[in-house]
Structure 1
Amino acid sequence: MQIIRIDAAFDRYKELLALILDAFAYMDGRIDPPSSAHALTIEGLSEKASAEIGFVAVDGSVLAGCIFCKPETDCLYIGKLAVSATCRGKGVGRLLLASAEAAARDRHLAALRLLTRIELTENHRTFSAWGFVETDRTAHPGFTRPTSIEMRKTL
């Protein structure tokens, strides 16, 4: 398994979009509002990679996972962490997270931050096992109940 930084030479956005949509498909019908992954396009992913720090996990020639990171004032925001169904349980998420941690340390940021949906309790458990703790609950626009849990990991 190799972790590669998405840079200007990266040309596999069609595969990357398919990976994200496939990895997030289990959320359909479980979360409200629906995942923002549905709004992604090939062009949008390319723009996201230019504006943020992106990594892909490659197993042989197959895209096994991805993570996007956005520097904030006091932390690195983690978004679109996705692992292909065939590669789950093989440590791909941990490898991608380790790359995010290194990117945070390189920028002298002392924490990682992410949002996970209220309904996805299995994700809460996984992120907790990886050292994240709940710090807030937030609501998407138009919702009066919490829809997301904010979690942070101090580095």
Structure 2
Amino acid sequence: METIRLDGSFDRYEDLLSLILSSFAYMDGRIDPPSSAHTLTVASLRRKVVDEIAFAVTTGRELLGCVFCKPEPDCLYIGKLAVAPKAQGRGVGRMLLAVAEETARALALPALRLQTRIELTENHAAFAALGFVETSRSAHPGFTRPTSIEMRKRL
């Protein structure tokens, strides 16, 4: 397995979209509102690769995982962290978070930040085991209850 930076030479956006949708599929029917992954398109992923810092873990031509990173004033935001269902438990997520940490350090940012849904308690535990702590809760527009948890990891 190797980690690659997604840039202008990347041309497998259908595969990338499929990876994200299959990785997020287990959330369907569990979270409300539905995941924003459902709004992604090949065109929007092309823009994300240009506008953000994106990485993928591959083996040969197979995409096993991806992450999109966005620098903020005091941290690196981690979004669309996705691991193919058949690759889960093989260290792909750890590889992606490691490259995100390297990126944050290279940008002199002291922390990683991510959001996870309230309902996905297994994600809260997994991120906590990797050093993330809950810092706040928020509600999506139109909701009066918290729908999302923000977690940070100081580097």
- Residue 91 of structure 1 deviates from its aligned partner by 0.3
Equivalent position of 1:124 in the other structure: 124
> Structure 2: which amino acid aligns with 1:69?
C
For residues 57-99 of structure 1, what are the alpha-carbon distances to aligned partners after superposition, in whole Å with 9 as ceiling and x for unaligned? 0012210000000000000000000000110000000000000
The 5-angstrom pairing of residues 126-145 of structure 1 reads 126-145=126-145
Equivalent position of 1:8 in the other structure: 8
RMSD: 0.4
CA distance in 1, matches of 2:85, 2:143: 31
CA distance in 2, matches of 1:114, 1:23: 17
CA distance in 2, matches of 1:154, 1:15: 32
CA distance in 1, matches of 2:133, 2:30: 23
> Structure 2: which amino acid aligns with 1:58?
T
> Structure 1: which amino acid aligns with 2:124?
H
Equivalent position of 2:35 in the other structure: 35
The 5-angstrom pairing of residues 1-150 of structure 1 reads 1-150=1-150
SS at match of 2:149: strand
- Residue 54 of structure 1 deviates from its aligned partner by 0.2
- With the length of structure 2 as denominator, give the TM-score of the two structures: 0.99
Unaligned runs of 5+ in 2: none
SS at match of 2:141: coil
- With the length of structure 1 as denominator, give the TM-score of the two structures: 0.99
SS at match of 1:58: strand
Spell out structure 1 runs of 4+ moving beyond 6 A.
Answer: none
CA distance in 1, matches of 2:64, 2:31: 24
Percent identity of equivalent pairs: 67
Unaligned runs of 5+ in 1: none
